[in-house]
Structure 1
Amino acid sequence: MNIKVVIPARYGSSRLPGKPLLKINGVEVVNHVVQRCIEAGVAHSDIFVASDDGRILEVIDNTKSMAIMTDSKHQSGTDRLCEVAEKEGWSEDTLVINVQGDEPMIPPDLISNLISFAGSNPQFHICTAVTSVTSLDEFNNPNVVKAILGEDGRALYFTRSASPFNRDVPGDIEMANRHIGIYSYRVSALKRFCSYEESQLEKYEKLEQLRALSRGMAIGAFVYEGNILHGVDTMEDFEKVKELMELEK
């Protein structure tokens, strides 16, 4: 199976500009993400950091990953993936993994498990991961995206609302899953996804994956049992992650 990892890394975040360049233990956040991909067993020549800003690409260690400039007008990281796939001329059946550039503590086994799941489930156009919701606060938090799964691992819906709701036992979270923002696509599915306009549900919930479901694309998800730590969205997030990673050193 031909596998590529693309790490979209945008400089112009509204909440924390330049976050891929913030340093932890002397290493930029984006390069920590690259290292986690290597620890997942991905060859350095198959890891691509995609950015619209030369300041980010300048810090990429070319012995560990490839740096590629992409258009600044992309509305999402998925559009950036599509540009990389087209520029590099990847075959239609190449498996592309989208790893966020602001998650320096992403578990390597999450990446490797997604690769295995996608390879074993070609019936899905897109694959992703979920983990169990562990508290009512998490269940009711609209910033925690819930994934509704069918019996076969097929994603039926993604939502910010508290779902699925047990009518007979309000507050029951036994079947509740939190979505983890990592995806895999075959190049053919990636191009198909990027050819679609935003769907009404996508605009309503502000969830890009609803574009795929609205167009009849099949999304599969596996349940990840490990610990998922928050990415870097704000300076407060960064300070927390920095403290944890400095303790790990």
Structure 2
Amino acid sequence: MKAVSKNKVIAMIPARYEASRFPGKLLKDLAGKTVIRRTYEAAVDTNLFDEVYVVTDSDKIEAEIKQHGGKVIRSQKEHECGSDRIAEAVENMDVDIVLNVQGDEPFIDKNSLAKLLEVFEQDHLKEIDLASLKTALYESDEITSANNVKVITDHNDFALYFSRFPIPYPRDTSAKVTYFKHIGIYAFRKSALMDFYKLPMLPLEAAEKIECIRYLEYGKKIKMIETSVKSIGIDTPEDLEKAKKLLS
């Protein structure tokens, strides 16, 4: 049974076969199942959603999910980012909240996703456009890595900016600042997602190659939820080996 909710909530997993850093990674074996299958099944097993779909332009990924009883929506257009792929898929759906699960992040934490959805249940004035996750970073190599998107927030945990650069810049090294990594799992109001789909990319998003910056550039409100659960995104062959060790 899905958790009681007044919003209709679905999960979408955008899944491209061609990944620039690790082509075909979603169909790589991860302890007996493909990465994308593990992600899909993990999303279903949370019991948080009315429906879970993989959204893909790949025959191979479609076949893999359908072979194991999953639901697939085929992209009809070329897309530059996962939000666009999801927006096309949900455009004609009767749905309130769409949760974007990254296809290369099979270690889904149910409690974290539940907290994201709770943001909208408590947002009676509908002022929040989307919610996402952040987790604290403590190692200097993680803070400086361009592969880790960092986020800074205001005192109410609304996002101020995202960057691949360490933000804030530590000009005063005695200031006690915690750095936060953005975990690329989003919950959107459908209306905000459709706005994103129709609005052109602006310079900040283009420079950083971080799609959620587009929401900030157009004045959308992003609520960040802190989690202590460390996400393992599979961006490289080394990440896949780490994931295998975690499962074993």
TM-score over 0.5 for the alignment? Answer: yes
Equivalent residues in 2 for 1:26-45, closer than 5 Å: 26-43=32-49
Alpha-carbon distance, 1:167 to partner:
4.0
Query: For residues 136 and 149 of structure 1, what CA distance do their matches in structure 2 show?
Result: 20
Structure 1 residues 41, 239: CA separation in 2 closer, same or farther (over 3 Å shift)?
same
Structure 1 residues 195, 19: CA separation in 2 closer, same or farther (over 3 Å shift)?
same
Note if contact 1:5-1:48 (Cα within 8 Å) is conserved in structure 2. Answer: yes
Q: Which of 220, 232, 235 is the aligned partner of 2:234? A: 232
Q: Which of 94, 98, 107 is the aligned partner of 2:109? A: 107
Note if contact 1:127-1:185 (Cα within 8 Å) is conserved in structure 2. Answer: yes
Unpaired segments of 5 or more residues in structure 2?
Answer: 1-6
Alpha-carbon distance, 1:61 to partner:
4.5
Match of 1:124 in 2: 128
Deviation >6 Å, runs of 4+ = none
Match of 1:181 in 2: 184
- Match of 1:56, SS state, is helix
Note if contact 1:136-1:173 (Cα within 8 Å) is conserved in structure 2. Answer: no
Alpha-carbon distance, 1:72 to partner:
4.8
Q: Which of 2, 14, 20 is the aligned partner of 2:20? A: 14
Alpha-carbon distance, 1:80 to partner:
0.7
Query: For residues 75 and 135 of structure 2, what CA distance do their matches in structure 1 show?
Result: 32
Q: Which of 193, 196, 202 is the aligned partner of 1:193? A: 196
The percentage of aligned residue pairs carrying the same residue is 32
- Match of 1:5, SS state, is strand
Match of 1:59 in 2: 64
Query: For residues 173 and 239 of structure 1, what CA distance do their matches in structure 2 show?
Result: 34
> Normalized against structure 2, the TM-score is what?
0.89
Unpaired segments of 5 or more residues in structure 1?
Answer: none
Query: For residues 3 and 33 of structure 1, what CA distance do their matches in structure 2 show?
Result: 18
Structure 1 residues 175, 26: CA separation in 2 closer, same or farther (over 3 Å shift)?
closer
Query: For residues 169 and 73 of structure 1, what CA distance do their matches in structure 2 show?
Result: 45
Q: Does 1:2 align with 2:8?
A: yes
Q: Deviations over 1:86-118 (max 9, x none)?
A: 24x224xx1000000011223232222222223
Equivalent residues in 2 for 1:70-89, closer than 5 Å: 70-87=75-92, 89=93
Query: For residues 69 and 111 of structure 2, what CA distance do their matches in structure 1 show?
Result: 19
Structure 1 residues 7, 143: CA separation in 2 closer, same or farther (over 3 Å shift)?
same
Q: CA RMSD in A?
A: 1.9
Deviates more, 1:217-226 or 1:115-124: 115-124
Query: For residues 76 and 128 of structure 1, what CA distance do their matches in structure 2 show?
Result: 16
Query: For residues 123 and 153 of structure 1, what CA distance do their matches in structure 2 show?
Result: 14
> Normalized against structure 1, the TM-score is what?
0.89
Note if contact 2:132-2:187 (Cα within 8 Å) is conserved in structure 1. Answer: yes
